[in-house]
Amino acid sequence: MEQAFHWFCRKCGFTEDFGRSYYWKCPKCGSPLVISTGRRYEVSKGRGLARYKSVLPVTPLKYMGEGETPLVKVSEEGVEVWFKLEYLNPSGSFKDRGTSLSLSYARKLGYTTVVDDSSGNTAISISLYSRALGLKPALFIPRTAPEGKKRILRFLGAELHESESRGAASVDVVEYSRSHPEAYYVAHTWSYFYVIGAATIAFEVFEEAGVPDYVIAPVGSGGLLLGLAHGFKTLLEQGLTTKMPRIIGVQGYSVQPVNVALKGVETPGEESWLADGIMVPNPPRLAEIVDAIRESQGDVHLVGNTEVREAWLKLVDQGFLVEPTSAAAYAALERLKTRLQGKSVLVPLTGSGLKIIPLM
């Protein structure tokens, strides 16, 4: 019987049947991997991500409420805005979609410990899902991470390893995973599970409303943008729709690798630390992000703290209690409204504002 899913490296051509082993990067050349399939998109009975099991390499072992988030349509100055309320996922962010897939695979392969480097949404997501699935999470975080976040992670059962900086944490976790082969390295910035998880957002939007004219999404490691692109492209290639949305990636002036890769120059502007969730200087899938934007005839836009804060408050005024990183995408929309008259625009609201009460 032919294997339905495969590990595949687009750079060196490495391929292996999916389901027997786990790789967080290509074992031959060290590039990011994808999980490929020739299966057709179909909607099944069930709840959450399991409804799209025909194109998922693994289905969640335990449904906790991830997915099926509300889609709220609002008409703003001639633009039809589709807000996807991803901050209503169990741990408060869209990351739960990828985490549910990744940790379910870890359990199926027999791992009992998972490890990653994060102190934000992904860390909370991994800690919560680990607890629910009977896994032990070990997280590498910068020593400067807010004490409030550390308390949340400890409460959820995470074993914390404090590194000197965010960059040091990403190095330390790799060393740990090498010396602890029994631990499953989630590697969320590399992991294709998070791309596939985000693709289910596109599937849900398509089912409820069709395909938007534009997608505006914040870009850190790029899993959200790539997932949305992959989801809508799957629908297009299988003849289920005739259009592909133009994809607008949003980054801050302080950290703008996608903008530099796309345009060849760094654009000066106001600091953007308020949207800390997208401050990823070296996303492993940078080339894929740039390709996805170009293929959709999209673009990248930069925002600063002033725009982010104004957009954040406007979202709260509308009843959306989100984090500033979510507001980065809305800030870009505010700037583009005159160019988007009569268009439908999908804006995923990625994370809950309840996690950042000290900033308020």
Do residues 174 and 312 share a domain?
Answer: no
Same-domain pairing of 196 and 326: yes
Give the mean pLDDT of 1-28: 91
In this structure, the answer to whether residues 202 and 240 fall within a common structural domain is yes
Mean pLDDT of the chain: 94
| Single-letter amino acid, residue 112 | T
The strand pair at 15-17 and 159-163 is best described as unpaired
Q: How many domains does the chain have?
A: 3
pLDDT tens string 335-352: 999 999 999 999 999 999
Same domain? 275 vs 302: yes
The last residue of a domain, from among 119, 152, 185: 185
Cβ atoms of residues 113 and 135 within 8 Å? yes
* Residue 62 in domain: no
Instruction: Identify the CA nearest to 83 among candidates 91, 94, 96.
Output: 94
Regarding whether 213 and 81 lie in a shared domain, the answer is yes
Looking at the domain assignment, is residue 270 inside a domain?
yes
**C-alpha of 96 from chain center:** 9
Based on the fold, state whether residues 311 and 201 are members of the same structural domain.
yes
Q: Note whether residue 64 is domain-resident.
A: no
State residue 146's pLDDT score: 73
Shared domain for 125 and 265, answered yes or no, is no
Angle between helices 305-317 and 324-336 (to 10 degrees): 100
Is 61 a member of any domain?
Answer: no
* Structural domain for 146, as ranges: 95-185
**CA–CA distance from 81 to each of 71, 74, 327, 350 (Å)?**
10, 5, 14, 15
* 60 falls within a domain: no
Same-domain pairing of 181 and 198:
no
- Tell whether 65 is covered by a domain: no
Q: Are 195 and 46 in a shared domain?
A: no
- What span, in angstroms and rounded, lies between the C-alpha atoms of 284 and 356? 27
- The percentage of residues in the chain with a pLDDT greater than 90, rounded to a whole number, is 88
Partners of 301 in beta bridges: 250
Length reported for the chain: 360
Q: Which of 90-104, 216-230, 239-253, 343-357 has the lowest mean pLDDT?
A: 343-357
pLDDT at 359: 52
Same domain as 122, residue 75: no
Point out the domain boundary residue: 144, 164, 185: 185
**Placement of tokens 């959306």 in the chain:** 320
If asked whether residues 244 and 167 sit together in one domain, one would say no
pLDDT (0 to 100) of residue 1: 29
Same domain for 227 and 308, yes or no, is yes
Q: Which CATH number characterizes residue 199's domain?
A: 3.40.50.1100
